[in-house]
A and B are shown apart, each in its own frame.
Chain A
Amino acid sequence: MTDGHRMTDEHRMTGRHRILIADDEPSFRRLYEHELRKAGYEVELASSGKEVLQKVQVKRPDLVILDIRMPGMNGLDTMNRLLEEDNELPVIINSAYPNFRDSYMSWSADAYLVKSSDLSELKRTIREVLETRSVCP
């Protein structure tokens, strides 16, 4: 289905997907910002779950990527809050912890990735999730 309601005018004009990526570590934020922009996405950054909830309202991203370990609200709780608001929102969990992969908490995510220095898997997964969900830019 199309999620036209999430699209802003800006989206339509650029024709690019907007990705909100949350990580409490500045290094990762900087890295993801750099790499995903290069891959042709619009990138929004958040350093905490709380910030994610705020920015989702304002920026209307097509996809949210969440780290699990964040101060305050962790990534899994954040995802649940997001899905309560809009259960069609695609979410990817991207964590250094492989052990939450089997937790029922993460079942509702579209994908679960373990952080790696090689971002090609992340980029491929982003593409697949957007295609599967038929999210139009």
Chain B
Amino acid sequence: MNPYNRSGDSPALSPFPTNGAVALAERLSGPGSSENPARIDSVGRGFVEGLSRALGMGVILTSADGRIVDRSAVIEEIFPDTFAPGTRFARELDRVTVPATTGAPFLSGPAGSEAARRVLRGGELRCSAVGAGPARLFSHIRFPVSAPTASPADLIEAHCLLDIRPEKQLFDSYQGELKQLHSMREIIELLYESVGFGDVLNLILVAVTSGEGFGFNRAFFLEVVDGRLKGRLGIGPANAEEAHRIWSHLAEFNTTLRETLSLLTQASCPPDAATQDLARQIDLPLDPGSCKDGDGGILKACRDRRAAAVAHDSGLCELEKALFRTLGSESLAVVPLTVQDRLAGVLLADNFITGRAITAKDVGLLESFSRYAAIALQNSNLLEERTRSLQQLREANHQLQTHQQRLLQAEKLSTLGKVAACVSHEIRNPLAAIGGLTRAVLDDLSNPQISREMLEIVVREVERLERFLKETLSFVKPVRGPMQEGDLVEIVRGVAATFREQFQRSHVELDLEVGEAPMLCSTDPDLLRGALTNLLRNAEDALTSRGGRIRLRLERHDDHFRIDVADDGPGIPEEIRDRIFEPFVTNKEDGTGIGLAIAHENIRSLGGSVSLKADPEEYSTLFRIRIPCRDVPDRGTELSDRNIQAVDLDDREKA
């Protein structure tokens, strides 16, 4: 799935190999066909181009007679006048080299020496310096690419040229630095753009392994779980064959890191199952005491929070040696990812396929990168946590809403129950009395005096029933009579007067603050009286057990009249204050909960408002009525109301 180390100066291919490419060549040409599955049986079209891209250098193919069969596009570009197909390779080589090739093995030099040494170990491979002495320009590497079973006549050889001029090395080095800086910037930009933890992790490992990134062959991420390092993700080829296959595949694309990443997310790139399995096997205790022979480089790097290159033979403890065996690495870059000195995870990287040595520069670059990687991982972790808790909050909220709805439903049902209880009580009482009294009359018809008395009570009880029904219905829909000019002073005083006797009996002192001068207002006196009566009754009920004071005050303000009804009773409990005007809400044992609702509805249909004032100074409960000042009665409304009533009557008479 991964653009493993394609190395070299890609994306623009160089005709000159790097160490990694030489090592690949070595593997391709090593002895024994079973170890060299990449060897070919025949050379088809495009082979040379694929090989060139895979190696990261220009390739020239020759047949057994030393004639050039094919050459990659880069060779053609750099040496337009030489290495044409059909020409003799040796002669062409002479033409580009000054002086002629010596044929001596190339063993030392300012660059490529290690590569050349490795190449020489490859047996069949031969390496020669092109241009001996101070004039040496190229190192020439050749290796067979045809199947080992092929007859000598069918032998196909690949030739690569290695530029060993010091100025070329310097140039490559600057180019490399520039490219690396550019890549680093691109990777960091990508890190900032990635959001999910999995995406960020994937990007980090791709950056470590891609040729456009840090160019390692494989990378592993270990997370810290309960004081242990556990492998979470690993990417990279499982073997040379897979490496070759993928390199050939990726060679078809001339991709940037960004493009590579989008390629990787496509389904056509299967995950590196084998490498991921290896990652899953990694399990190292971080505790320094767990290795009886002391930590080696890996655990020390983690403890010191310093990146390091650790070789397999560098005094490791047994657990670390086991890790090297599991991964099959010779050398590992160990990069702790730390956030504020807390170990968040560890990156491991190696060059398992190419065997390229891990340099101090590689480690330094990885270490700088690790700071950004750690922060990006931390951020995505936080983000995911936040997303999770947000989701939990959402669920909790949803549940809350569901419960609230159920509660509302239950409350509605309970209100219905209260309504039923209240109505049944209000009806049962007078009904029982009426029934009982009429039975009594029937039982004793001979006594007219008793009968009369009983029947008079019956009449009163029937009136009471009618009144209750009227009150209940008037709550359901207050029937507003015609608006007319009324004197609020007179209305308020009138209502107060009806309570005088009652208040005396129940030891209630009425504090009436109403002026003498009339306050004229467009109103429905019956509705206003009803509202005041209910508020006063409510206040009196609050004082029933011990008596107390009630204040009834009427004032004119700029654009409205204000009527306060207050009492110094126990006050309205907090839990029902908000709902006090809802029907059937009461804290009185025997209350119907309808009085305040009627008052509220009445005042509302007069265009005013009534509210329960919080925290009054003197009185525990204060209801405040506001009625807008409308001095001139609304004749139009009155007339139209009357007309409608008349029409209703007519209809009824006709029906």
Those of B435-469 within 8 Å (CB) of chain A: 435-440, 443-444, 450, 453-454, 457, 460-461
Checking A25, A31, A71, A99 against B440 with a beta-carbon cut-off of 8 angstroms, the contacting residue is A31
Q: Contact at A97–B425, with CB atoms within 8 Å?
A: yes
CA of A115 to CA of B429 in the docked complex: distance in angstroms? 7
Those of A93-137 within 8 Å (CB) of chain B: 96-97, 99, 114-119
How would residues 422 to 436 of chain B score, 1 for a CB under 8 Å from any chain A CB and 0 otherwise? Answer: 000100111111111
Q: Contact at B590–A116, with CB atoms within 8 Å?
A: no
Question: If A69-B590, A72-B545 touch, does A96 touch B439 (CB 8 Å cutoff)?
Answer: no
Checking A31, A72, A99 against B544 with a beta-carbon cut-off of 8 angstroms, the contacting residue is A72
Checking B440, B453, B589 against A35 with a beta-carbon cut-off of 8 angstroms, the contacting residue is B440
How would residues 19 to 33 of chain A score, 1 for a CB under 8 Å from any chain B CB and 0 otherwise? Answer: 000000111101100
A34 in the interface (beta carbon within 8 A): yes
Q: Contact at B432–A74, with CB atoms within 8 Å?
A: no
B407 in the interface (beta carbon within 8 A): no
Checking B421, B425, B433 against A31 with a beta-carbon cut-off of 8 angstroms, the contacting residue is B433
**B589: nearest residue on chain A (CB-CB)?**
A74
CA of A34 to CA of B437 in the docked complex: distance in angstroms? 9
**B432: nearest residue on chain A (CB-CB)?**
A115
What is the interface size of chain A, counting residues whose CB is below 8 A from a CB of the partner? Answer: 22
How would residues 42 to 86 of chain A score, 1 for a CB under 8 Å from any chain B CB and 0 otherwise? Answer: 000000000000000000000000000101101000000000000
CA of A97 to CA of B461 in the docked complex: distance in angstroms? 18
Q: Contact at B433–A28, with CB atoms within 8 Å?
A: yes
Checking B421, B437, B544, B590 against A27 with a beta-carbon cut-off of 8 angstroms, the contacting residue is B437
Question: If A27-B461, A71-B544, A96-B425 touch, does A35 touch B436 (CB 8 Å cutoff)?
Answer: yes
**B546: nearest residue on chain A (CB-CB)?**
A72
Contacting residues, chain A, for B440 (C-beta < 8 A): 31, 34-35
CA of A72 to CA of B590 in the docked complex: distance in angstroms? 11
Checking B434, B443, B589, B590 against A117 with a beta-carbon cut-off of 8 angstroms, the contacting residue is B434
Q: Contact at B450–A34, with CB atoms within 8 Å?
A: yes
CA of A28 to CA of B450 in the docked complex: distance in angstroms? 15
CA of A1 to CA of B347 in the docked complex: distance in angstroms? 96
Distance of A56 from chain B, by nearest CB (Å): 20
**A99: nearest residue on chain B (CB-CB)?**
B421
CA of A97 to CA of B429 in the docked complex: distance in angstroms? 9
Contacting residues, chain B, for A35 (C-beta < 8 A): 436, 440
Contacting residues, chain B, for A28 (C-beta < 8 A): 429, 432-433, 436
Contacting residues, chain B, for A71 (C-beta < 8 A): 544
Q: Contact at A31–B429, with CB atoms within 8 Å?
A: no
Question: If A34-B440, A74-B590 touch, does A117 touch B425 (CB 8 Å cutoff)?
Answer: no
Distance of B600 from chain A, by nearest CB (Å): 24
With most chain B CB atoms within 10 A of its CB, the pick from A35, A99, A117 is A117
**B428: nearest residue on chain A (CB-CB)?**
A96
**B430: nearest residue on chain A (CB-CB)?**
A27
Checking A31, A34, A115 against B428 with a beta-carbon cut-off of 8 angstroms, the contacting residue is A115
**A120: nearest residue on chain B (CB-CB)?**
B439
Q: Which residues of B contact A (CB under 8 A)?
A: 421, 425, 428-440, 443-444, 450, 453-454, 457, 460-461, 544-545, 589-590
Given A35-B440, A72-B545, A117-B434, 17 more A-B residue pairs with CB atoms under 8 Å apart are A25-B433, A27-B457, A27-B460, A30-B454, A31-B440, A31-B457, A34-B454, A69-B589, A69-B590, A71-B544, A74-B590, A96-B429, A97-B425, A116-B432, A117-B432, A117-B435, A118-B435
List 21 A-B pairs, Cβ < 8 Å.
A27-B437, A27-B461, A28-B432, A30-B437, A30-B453, A30-B454, A34-B450, A38-B443, A69-B589, A69-B590, A72-B545, A96-B428, A97-B421, A97-B425, A99-B421, A115-B428, A115-B429, A116-B432, A117-B431, A118-B435, A118-B439
5 closest A-B pairs by beta carbon, nearest first, are A117-B435, A27-B433, A115-B432, A69-B590, A96-B428
